[in-house]
Structure 1
Amino acid sequence: MAFSEPSELTPIGHTGGRIFTSGGRSLVLEDDEIRLVSVGVDIGSSTTHMVLSRIVLERRDNRYLVTSREVTHESDVLLTPYRTGDTAGDTLDGEALREFFDRQYAEAGVSPDEIDTGALIMTGVAVRRANSRIIADVFSQVAGRFVSVSAGDALETQLSAFGSGAASRSEANGNRTMNIDIGGGTSKIAVCGDGEVQAVTAIDVGARILAFDTEGRVTRIEEAARRLAAEAGLELVMGAAPDADGLSRLVELMADHLFAAMQSGPTPRATADLMRLDPLPAGPAPDAISFSGGVAEYVYGRDQRDHGDLGLRLATAIRERVSEWGPELQVAEQGIRATVVGASQYTVQVSGTTIFVEPASLLPLRNVPVLMPRLPLTHEELDADEITVAVKEALQTFDSLPKKQPVALCYRWEGSATFGRLDAFCRGVAAGMAEYTSNGLPLVLVGDGDVGGLVGIHVNEELGLPTSVVSIDGLTLQAFDFIDIGELLAASGAVPVVIKSLVFPATAALGREGAAV
């Protein structure tokens, strides 16, 4: 499934660094087509699961574009395991997670070493720092060569929109499609149009903010449940069965807040207090809606079992409101697995082959923030000093990042690539990034055209800077905050790039506590 390593890699036209590289035993077909094995993993407060996919990318001019995505293995859905004896139920059971993933790889007939790329999405209690360390330890052993670790409501919302098919349906139908992904702890809302995610928000409404044993006694109370119960006039006590009428009021209130969050424009104060992201911007109502996440299985009638939470009750309340609202209810391509399918199939891009990496051992690079300065690149003669000023101004937004963290400068090349224009661009960028490269960090440049190799060579040879260089191209990164750059793919000389966000919620509502990592 993954490419075998060729006997050697032959740089074409350059002896140091890597530019337009092809494998010594690769065929032309292999250079024009890349096949990747990708894994998507979702570890949430309630459930954990994974999906393996095969992705085919074909070279179109200087870019590799995804032409085929195929799910090759869907794992069981595991109730996220917590350590025995942890009365708060907050600490993940790392050994149980490791056994689960080992079993899934075995059932799929795939070794972790065969994984080329992918993403791990963590939500809820999984993002807490102690659990992040547990997960990092687990995945250092079972994830394979190149899997990114990501967390964040905005990213998860985007992935569920793609994985559910809402984005593609908006393009195929030429309409405004909303997807609501309802999980155990949160609901993620995405508005899609023209095949893209145009707006997202998230709210602390989920099936397992309150959980019960087989006798109906409360076994888990999330902070969101306490707040909603107070609003509903319901007393919640661990180990006691709640009042039935009060529980009904709680569920109806949850559905009310969810539908308030689904509306654009001003948000009621009580709903705003539950929001994890900014409300949806003003705009027309959607033409169609779909649901994904665990509760979607109830919404579409695919599951009627009681899993000891509020899922079945919440789905019933949602269906009543959907029929009264007006937009067409569409069936999502994926339900509970929407986010994990999105993670395995929609986070990866592949660079062009006109790239430069010196030394090649620099890769992989992980969790690299993307800097997007407004560079003056339209004139026939470029001004190096103006470029330096633009880069330094943009870097001011990264003041909170440690200077030991590499930064990827993303640019959109315009015009010809003459020696003079390349020289001014490279001198300006190098001077602007000197604060980072002087500390021994590599100069990481990401372009959307096909000049990555020329830029890298110019920095390395003409400027003679004593710094490592990664210069890649053929990528579009404007919608995301962080990237992972994988090792060179043997057959093509390109690199896989996982696009993600590692920003934890950071505002005043329930889910908005934390910091970037």
Structure 2
Amino acid sequence: MSDAERLAIAQAIWEQETVDMLTVGIDIGSSTTHLLFARVILRREQHELSSRFVVVERRIVWRSPIMLTPFLPDGTIDAHALRHFFHDSYHDAGFAPGDVDSGAVILTGEAIKRTNARLIDEIFAAESGKFVCATAGHKLECILAAHGSGATALSAKRGGVSLHVDIGGGTTKLALLRNGEITSVAAFAVGGRLLAQDAAGEWTRIDDSARLVAQSLGIAAEPAQMADPAQRQRIAARLADLLFDQITGAPLDDLGRALQLTEPLDRSLTPDFITFSGGVSEYVYGYEANDYGDIARPLADALTKRLANLTVPVVDAGQRIRATVIGASQFTVQVSGKTLHLTTPDALPKRNIPVVHLGQPLPEELDPVVLAAAFRQRADVQDCDLSAPLALAFDWSGIPEYPRLRAMAEAILLVAGQSRQHLLAVVIEGDVGQSIGRIIERELGFAGNLVCLDGVQLKDLDFIDIGQLMDPPGVVPVVIKSLLFS
């Protein structure tokens, strides 16, 4: 056999066993906007004749400059300016939209409060049907920041308990971790861009949180007052106090409680070390020294002085301002059909359905109320709207006896409702999809579009595309899109 023939055979095997994808991650936050291109290599698993592809390599190929998120005088996001920024970024990176195989558009922090935030979200997603498009609520952003910063990986490597603190432009996100697992999250309205200058250099951006802080200090929340560096320093110092109280778990005063965006962090575990991310962390770690027309630097300076009194070490997890989302890709393609249940073929296809995974093994005795509460808790942490298109996922274990199947079906309807406007997908690692689907539809009288898929592996932060029924052979293709973190 010639060398050319060997090369051709090797190339053919590579093409069948490997997927090479270009992905883009786009983060539109309260303070900054940026994007990142990455090359993702997926390879077919080599055991048990698996058809499943897994990520084996992820390499960042281009990072955009970091742009201050543009806001118009009426407080809405400047979609025109964003379009220009993304167009220029694609051009400078040497890519066209058609080159991108998959990606994610994420709006976070104060940006999601703007009246046209959802429109911005949809505009960029509409440019490519391959995009996952999500508006990250406060709890989901805590999770994204902990993963994207490298804090969860560091926690898994070092063990013990750690606290991750992501200080953005308008909000701060906390995540308590133990051995790489997030045990509790919380968010509050303190950030480095609560006060900011406009294009003319006037201090016209005064967010609600900054107004509350100014009021507590007896300062008029007006541009003329904010132009005084001494007044801004007082506000930054007060914000640093509020931050330090949250980090250390000290009792909150009235102002601290007023700025809470979620329930407080669970303080039952004591951190062995602390990590930071977000724009303010660039100053905390000493990577940035310039001002950008806001209070990020004085806030970081004041916080750093307070952190010097801590006995708990501060560790750099690796990613800071780019932590929230650093990439997304189509993770794998799987096929469900061994025991598929589908109410009507017209319900499919559907794209970008968020996944809520039960995240725990099934006990021998299944209690529908307990299972439903576990699903709701996972959905709550992800800021997932249970009335929207939804995929409830779990791993089936144990004997598929009728009482257990019925209990799981009842739990699913306690979460999703007896009738709903949008598709309900039940995705199972196991071969009981048809049985549970029939119980939900025929015995429990579910009114709505339902698809039960089995033999599919999912996890939290996944999104799925469910294709049309292929008959024959009576299967449904499922594309799983996972946010990928370093």
TM-score normalised by length of structure 2:
0.76
Q: Deviations over 1:41-77 (max 9, x none)?
A: 2112221111223334453767655443322221111
Q: Compute the displacement of 1:497 (Å).
A: 3.7
Q: Deviations over 1:334-386 (max 9, x none)?
A: 12111121xx25x976465455597598233334574859998837xx9xxx9
Partner residue of 2:299 out of 314, 323, 337: 314
CA distance in 1, matches of 2:267, 2:417: 40
The reply on whether 1:484 has 2:463 as its aligned counterpart is yes
The reply on whether 1:139 has 2:121 as its aligned counterpart is no
Amino acid at match of 2:480: P
Partner residue of 1:198 out of 183, 187, 191: 183
CA distance in 1, matches of 2:67, 2:138: 21
Q: Compute the displacement of 1:251 (Å).
A: 1.4
Q: Compute the displacement of 1:452 (Å).
A: 6.9
SS where residue 262 of structure 2 aligns? Answer: coil
The reply on whether 1:152 has 2:137 as its aligned counterpart is yes
CA distance in 2, matches of 1:459, 1:110: 49
CA distance in 2, matches of 1:138, 1:494: 25
User: Which is further off, 402-411 or 68-77?
Assistant: 402-411
**Contact preservation (8 Å) 1:148, 1:484:** no
Determine the structure 1 residue equivalent to 2:364: 378
CA distance in 2, matches of 1:111, 1:361: 33
The reply on whether 1:412 has 2:395 as its aligned counterpart is yes
Q: Deviations over 1:279-326 (max 9, x none)?
A: 221234422222211112222222211111111111111221222112
- With over 3 angstroms needed to count, the CA separation of the structure-2 counterparts of 1:237 and 1:109, relative to structure 1, is same
The reply on whether 1:365 has 2:347 as its aligned counterpart is no
**Contact preservation (8 Å) 1:185, 1:206:** yes
Map 1:226-265 onto structure 2 (within 5 A): 226-264=211-249
CA distance in 2, matches of 1:30, 1:457: 37
CA distance in 2, matches of 1:404, 1:395: 14
The reply on whether 1:176 has 2:193 as its aligned counterpart is no
Partner residue of 2:27 out of 42, 59, 62: 42
CA distance in 2, matches of 1:189, 1:437: 35
CA distance in 1, matches of 2:349, 2:243: 43
**Contact preservation (8 Å) 2:154, 2:317:** no
Q: Deviations over 1:190-231 (max 9, x none)?
A: 222212222222221111111136997422111111111122
**Contact preservation (8 Å) 1:121, 1:149:** yes
**Contact preservation (8 Å) 1:42, 1:339:** yes
**Contact preservation (8 Å) 1:117, 1:146:** yes
Determine the structure 1 residue equivalent to 2:57: 68
SS where residue 141 of structure 2 aligns? Answer: helix
- With over 3 angstroms needed to count, the CA separation of the structure-2 counterparts of 1:426 and 1:98, relative to structure 1, is farther
Q: Compute the displacement of 1:29 (Å).
A: 6.0
Any stretches of 5+ residues in structure 1 without a counterpart?
1-25, 501-517
CA distance in 2, matches of 1:154, 1:72: 29
CA distance in 1, matches of 2:315, 2:362: 45
**Contact preservation (8 Å) 1:183, 1:206:** yes
Partner residue of 1:471 out of 453, 460, 485: 453
SS where residue 325 of structure 1 aligns? Answer: coil
The reply on whether 1:328 has 2:309 as its aligned counterpart is no
Q: Compute the displacement of 1:258 (Å).
A: 0.4
State the number of aligned residues.
451
Determine the structure 2 residue equivalent to 1:4: none
Identity %: 31
More relative contact order in 1 or in 2 (CA 8 Å, sep 6+)?
1
Map 1:279-318 onto structure 2 (within 5 A): 279-318=264-303
CA distance in 2, matches of 1:378, 1:51: 45
Q: Deviations over 1:389-447 (max 9, x none)?
A: 9999999999xx99984443433312356xxx589848984997599797786552212
Q: Deviations over 1:89-124 (max 9, x none)?
A: x11121221121122223333343444444322134
Q: Deviations over 1:133-172 (max 9, x none)?
A: 4314521443442322222111111111111111111111
The reply on whether 1:54 has 2:43 as its aligned counterpart is no
CA distance in 2, matches of 1:312, 1:104: 27
Amino acid at match of 2:58: R
Determine the structure 1 residue equivalent to 2:7: none
Amino acid at match of 2:152: A
TM-score normalised by length of structure 1:
0.72
CA distance in 2, matches of 1:277, 1:403: 18
**Contact preservation (8 Å) 1:33, 1:57:** yes
CA distance in 2, matches of 1:181, 1:131: 25
CA distance in 2, matches of 1:188, 1:159: 10
SS where residue 87 of structure 2 aligns? Answer: helix
**Contact preservation (8 Å) 1:53, 1:73:** yes
Determine the structure 1 residue equivalent to 2:197: 212
**Contact preservation (8 Å) 2:466, 2:477:** no
Determine the structure 2 residue equivalent to 1:102: 87
**Contact preservation (8 Å) 1:456, 1:469:** no
**Contact preservation (8 Å) 1:216, 1:241:** no
**Contact preservation (8 Å) 1:353, 1:493:** yes
Partner residue of 1:187 out of 169, 172, 185: 172
Amino acid at match of 2:254: R
CA distance in 1, matches of 2:283, 2:385: 46
Amino acid at match of 1:469: V
Determine the structure 2 residue equivalent to 1:11: none
Determine the structure 2 residue equivalent to 1:496: 480
Supply the RMSD in Å over aligned alpha carbons. 4.5
Q: Compute the displacement of 1:468 (Å).
A: 6.2
CA distance in 2, matches of 1:182, 1:369: 27
CA distance in 2, matches of 1:45, 1:290: 21
